[in-house]
Amino acid sequence: MLFNQLGLSAELLRAVEEQGYSVATPIQQKAIPLVLEGKDVLAGAQTGTGKTAAFVLPMLQKLQKKSDGPRRIRALILTPTRELAAQVHQSVQTYGAHHPVRAMEIYGGVSARPQISKIQRGVDVVIATPGRLLDHVRQGNINLSGVEMFVLDEADRMLDMGFIRDIKQIIKQLPAKRQNLLFSATCSQEIRELANGLLNNPMEVQVAAPNSTADRVEQLVMPVDKDRKRELLSEQIGKGNWRQVLVFTRTKHGANRLAKQLNGDGIETLAIHGGKGQGARTKALSDFKAGKIRVLVATDIAARGLDIDKLPHVVNYELPNVAEDYVHRIGRTARAGHDGTAISLVCVDELKLLKDIEKLLGQDIKKEFVAGYDVDKRIKAEPINRGKPPRGAAPRRENSSAQKPGGAARRSKPRPGKNARGTQGKRPGGQNKAGQQRRAS
């Protein structure tokens, strides 16, 4: 189905066309008309399906109708991470190029003062992470009583990161009469319970089986001893002449260590994780996209939303503690019709994690034994910390800050024991020489 068949305005269609898009993805085909009708929507879609445009486009069209009185916040989009907030904000700017709509990001890790200034000047759309937004609410910096549309993006990730309390506090600030949209890569029982308390007679949209992985991702498991993983990874990168590789580790210390080792092997590498400042994270991602570095090592802060055109390889250097995060990690490749390969280097410690992932997928992942890397069966498995933030627990507030009375913003100290946050980048897609049609994000 073409975008011009979805009931979008001429201004929006012009912006979509300027990005080279013409055919809507399944989630866009199903969700956009429902949102335009004013329905509450529960949407389940795997990563890389173009869900951002599925709510941004109809939201912008509904905001075309001017409200009475001074400018106020009419749409609120909550995201789990600052990277995802930045990506959604970019989409609002891109598709709103011919709309007089003001949008802003609100997230931690940066000074609160510029955000306060923008709020005071008046905005229509706010894209925010829960922690920093709640800080502004508590300090009386922001008024959400005029919100007409509320979007909860990456809802499953929100639950995983322990944001449920913050979300409920924010919802209390919203007017009772509003349109609600909930987007999630997975639709677990907990997501449905959240939807039941948030949505009013929702229309449900599913464009893929729950917890499914992209059809075009080739998945491989390479069994290897833990102390030989780095050696095997370096060899695969060199032998296969991999030019762009996203590698996942479980911890930021592990990411830093692996990046240092790969650089020692002569492979240009940078690490990205929650311990890095926003500027360093943005630059690392930019250099990776531009081909200035060959390998980007990331924690699960990057599992949601890193959008890199035609990313060919994702490597799980360490399997995630949570099986669902495997789906989000490998969803960074094979996007917008491109092929990709996801390789997991699995040692004896991770066999239970692998079994959990295969159970989630409903299939075994193909094993490829690499010559010269025979697994030493004498090595016994060691325990892995499989913990994650309990449901309803207070989240880590590394991205939140509070304003000292009459003074500059201070950054809240991270609470111990919480996971780092994820990311979101720009959707890929393009009209290539073979005539493939682009998908909007």
- Which CATH number do you get for residue 247? 3.40.50.300
Residue 289 CA to residue 280 CA, distance in Å, equals 14
Domain presence at residue 393: no
CA distance 134 to 72: 18
Bridge partner residues of 409 (DSSP):
403
Decide which of 206, 241, 257 is a domain's last residue.
206
Domain membership flag for residue 133: yes
Q: What is the pLDDT along the chain (441 residues), one digit of tens a residue?
A: 899 999 999 999 999 999 888 889 889 999 999 999 999 999 987 666 788 999 999 999 999 876 666 789 999 999 988 888 988 999 999 999 998 899 999 998 889 999 999 999 999 999 999 999 999 999 999 999 999 999 999 898 888 788 989 999 999 999 999 999 999 887 778 888 889 889 999 999 987 544 455 556 889 999 999 999 999 999 999 999 998 999 999 999 999 999 999 999 999 999 988 788 777 887 888 888 888 999 999 998 755 556 676 788 999 999 998 887 888 788 777 555 567 899 999 999 999 999 999 988 888 999 999 999 999 999 998 888 544 444 444 444 434 433 333 333 333 434 444 443 343 333 333 334 334 444 455
Does residue 393 contact residue 162 with C-beta atoms inside 8 Å? yes
Rounded CA gap, 317 and 315, in Å?
A: 6
Only one residue has tokens 């990730």, namely: 157
The helix (H) or strand (E) run that includes residue 257 is: helix 252-264
Same domain, 292 and 231: yes
Last residue of a domain, one of 160, 187, 206: 206
Q: Do 21 and 90 belong to one domain?
A: yes
Check whether residue 248 and residue 292 sit in a common domain: yes
pTM for the predicted model, two decimal places: 0.61
Domain check: are 224 and 355 in the same one? Answer: yes
Find the DSSP H helices in 37-146: 51-62, 82-95, 113-121, 130-138
CA distance 79 to 91: 14
Are 253 and 301 part of one and the same domain?
Answer: yes
How many domains is the chain partitioned into structurally?
A: 2
Q: DSSP letters of 225-247?
A: -GGGHHHHHHHHHHHTT---EEE
Is residue 14 included in any domain, yes or no? yes
Domain span holding position 30: 3-206
pLDDT for position 423: 39
The pLDDT, as a whole number, for residue 323 is: 85
* Secondary structure (3-state) at 206: strand
| Pair (68, 131) in one structural domain | yes
CA distance readout (Å), 45 to 25, 155, 201, 207: 11, 11, 20, 6
Q: What is the pLDDT of residue 391?
A: 43
Given 177, 206, 235, which residue is the final one in a domain? 206
Are 282 and 306 contained in the same domain?
yes
- The answer to whether residues 198 and 275 belong to one domain is no
Predicted confidence at residue 76, as pLDDT, reads 98
Are residues 221 and 202 part of one domain?
no
Closest CA to 76 of 101, 51, 104: 104
